[in-house]
Structure 1
Amino acid sequence: MKKLVIIFYLFLIPLCTFAQNESTTPQAKTANDSTLIKIHALLEDIDFRMHGLDRYKLYPTENMYNFLQLDTKTGKIDVVQWSLDDEEEFSVTLNGEDLSYDTGCGTFELYPTKNIYQFLLLDKVTGRRWHVQWGFESSKRWIKRIY
């Protein structure tokens, strides 16, 4: 019986002595943390490039003092006039409607036509098109969808 008790204790001792090795856990955790930090930074950079970089573009018109400012994410367009005289500078909205399906920057692009006041607006993701006209009077500024 004493032999059985001794053998029983000898088998129990190794079971109780197994434990985690503390020296490798902090290193592994640090490596995982630094990897996660790098991944997070890369994802933020990708998000900025998709949603912030090259969001706005200026398109020159044949009139040297006027540009069309396009928000390439939403399709919104402003007419921007610059001048050496502060009183002659202004900006007016040509299209204030969000035309996007929230697909990211660089979706919209303007293409000039032979008519100096008219452009074509293209949604490069869906292929939708609009006829855009800018002008000095509000009645001469409009946008309409081309089906």
Structure 2
Amino acid sequence: MKKLLVFFLCLLSFASIKAQTSISNTKTTVASPDSNVNFRLYQTNNRWTFLKLDTRTGVIVHVQYSTDGDAMQYELNSKLLSEGEDAKPGRFFLYPTENTYNFILLDQIDGRVWQVQWNIDKENRGIWQIY
């Protein structure tokens, strides 16, 4: 009887651990192995939404595709975060967070970071530097 009770407790513990590890909604971004690309496309947890990053300047565009012809693109940030000779391919990279609407933008050369929030509603999207 004790062996059976211990077995069920172990089984419940394993199920609990398995459930906790499968709750995460963070997407794994598979970046191009080529660091000289000018643009990267990042998947979000929304099936219709991608983020297009200009890896030279840090400009991010929300790309929403559609099966009924309502596809669209709009800028999340239009401010260039690097310009001229500083705008090198592969400089910026996006990292997903646990929050579906938020990413972290990293300047891989000088270490600056920004919170990036995408949303269909204009007042709920933007980019803010993290100091």
TM over 0.5: yes
Q: TM-score, normalised by structure 1?
A: 0.62
Moved over 3 A (4+): none
Matched residues in 2 for 1:112 and 1:56: separation?
A: 17
Count of matched residue pairs: 96
3-state SS in 2 of match to 1:139: helix
Q: Is 1:136 aligned to residue 120 of structure 2? A: yes
Q: 1:145 — aligned with what? A: 129
In structure 1, what is the equivalent of residue 47 of structure 2? 64
Aligned counterparts of 2:43 and 2:50: Cα–Cα separation in 1:
5
Aligned match of 2:111: 127
What's the C-alpha RMSD, in Å, of the aligned pairs?
1.5
In structure 1, how many angstroms separate the alpha carbons of the residues matched to 2:76 and 2:57? 13
Structure 1 residues 63-115: Cα deviation after superposition (integer angstroms, max 9, x where no partner) = 011000000000000000001111x2000110111001524100000000000
Unaligned runs of 5+ in 1: 1-48
Distance in structure 2 (CA, Å) of the matches to 1:104 and 1:78: 18
Map of 1:1-147 to 2, 5 A cutoff? 53-86=36-69, 88-101=70-83, 102-147=86-131
* Residues in 2 aligned to 1:134 and 1:109: alpha-carbon distance in whole angstroms: 16
- Say which SS state the counterpart of residue 129 (structure 2) adopts: strand
Aligned identity (percent) is: 45
Q: Which amino acid aligns with 2:114?
A: W
The aligned counterpart of 1:30 is none
**Residue identity in the other structure for 1:111:** Y
Higher Rg: 1
The 1:89/1:116 distance shift into structure 2, 3 A limit, reads: same
TM-score (norm 2): 0.70
Indicate the SS of the match to 2:88. coil
Question: What SS does the corresponding residue of 1:69 show, helix, strand or coil?
Answer: strand
**SS at the partner of 1:93?**
strand
Structure in which a larger fraction of residues adopt helix: 1
Higher-RCO chain (CA-CA 8 Å, sequence separation at least 6): 2
Where structure 2 has 5 or more consecutive residues not aligned to the other structure, the ranges are 1-33
